[in-house]
Amino acid sequence: MDYTEGQGWHDARIVPYQPITLDPASMIFHYGQSVFEGLKAYVTKKEQVLLFRPDENFKRLNKSNDRLCIPHVDENLALEALKQLIKIDREWIPTAEGTSLYIRPFVIATEPYLGVAPSDRYQFIIILSPVGSYYKEGIAPVKIAVESEFVRAVAGGTGTAKTGGNYASSLKAQQLSDSKGYSQVLWLDGVERKYIEEVGSMNIFFKIDGEVVTPSVNGSILEGITRKSIIELLKHWDMPVTERRISMEEIKQAYSEGKLEEAFGTGTAAVISPIGELFWNNEKMVINDGNTGEVSQKLYDTLTGIQNGTVEDPFGWAVEVE
């Protein structure tokens, strides 16, 4: 679908996957005016196709659009277009356990203009791809390194928007942590390098002395849809969960006192990713003996069950593609 100033969004169309042609002066190539989303479709045992909270993704897309001066996309129209597209590509959705259809909606600025200003033309595109199971042999803890040099985002920047630039700024730290054998980095706040923000492509939770805590929404973390669902699920189970500022010092202290019971990342890709080891200031913290914690496992089983239709969904999160 295209956007032209004065005309609005127009020419919605479904075409076979193919390269697109853009003018080399298109603003997306120069000033990074782009936003994107990521969600998944799952096939149930009863052959239904389910999306997980897709309305949240399109809501977040428009929030990102606001920050990047991109005009809003009609959220209902986007969801209807996505459903049509999935129906056409139905046979591409893998059915083996843990597999899904990954969905990538995105908007790019297409006006050919070299001045720094919001574009007056855009393209909104949705592409799909079958994806394998995130965990080949069941849910398994990962090792995460705390990043103390580079920062991903600061409040007032573009951190809460799902925009390419935030991911570009994360590549260097990710490359360095990969080379040291860690799977993702844990970002700290950009001002004091003290407070925990989020993991490379996940939000983070800790279970400290019986209470689940996660960094509050602060203008720089991505407001994950899995994060939101986990908070709602824990509250539904009457389990204590708090959104607040959490410093690395506090985590270290809880660890030394034996009170750091679990840590896990949350996101569309892995759903729940238990953290077995946290590396900070040249020290390793091995959490829960490097094993998956009870709460992490229960959350994983429940959320994946709701997503693939094997667990009752009291929230109406799973949306059927008719």
Q: Closest CB to ligand PMP among 27 and 202?
A: 202
Burial class (CB within 10 angstroms; exposed 0-12, middle 13-18, buried 19+) of 140: middle
Q: Locate 2 and state its tokens.
A: 């295209």
Q: How far is the CB of 4 from ligand PMP (least distance, A)?
A: 29
Q: Closest CB to ligand PMP among 27 and 146?
A: 146
Report helix, strand or coil for 39.
Answer: strand
Q: Closest CB to ligand PMP among 9 and 102?
A: 102
**DSSP characters for 209-263?**
TTEEEEEPP-SSS---HHHHHHHHHHHHTT--EEEE--BHHHHHHHHHTT-EEEE
Q: How far is the CB of 296 from ligand PMP (least distance, A)?
A: 15
**DSSP characters for 140-182?**
--EEEEEE-S--S--TTTTTTS--HHHHHTTHHHHHHHHHTT-
- Chain residues binding ligand PMP by CB under 6 A are 38, 198, 201-203, 222, 224-227, 266-268
Q: How far is the CB of 196 from ligand PMP (least distance, A)?
A: 13
Please give the helix or strand (H or E) that residue 3 lies within, else none: strand 2-4
From first CA to last CA, the distance across the chain in angstroms is 22
Q: Closest CB to ligand PMP among 198 and 261?
A: 198
The vertex-19 CA angle with 14 and 22, nearest 5°, equals 100
Q: How far is the CB of 173 from ligand PMP (least distance, A)?
A: 12
Q: How far is the CB of 47 from ligand PMP (least distance, A)?
A: 26
Alpha-carbon radius of gyration of the chain = 20
Residue with tokens 């007032």: 156
Residue closest to ligand PMP (Cβ): 224
Residue with tokens 């199971």: 133
Q: How far is the CB of 7 from ligand PMP (least distance, A)?
A: 31
Q: How far is the CB of 225 from ligand PMP (least distance, A)?
A: 4
Phi first, then psi: what are they for 66, rounded to 5°?
-55, -45
Q: Closest CB to ligand PMP among 226 and 288?
A: 226
Q: Closest CB to ligand PMP among 228 and 259?
A: 228
Q: Closest CB to ligand PMP among 81 and 186?
A: 186
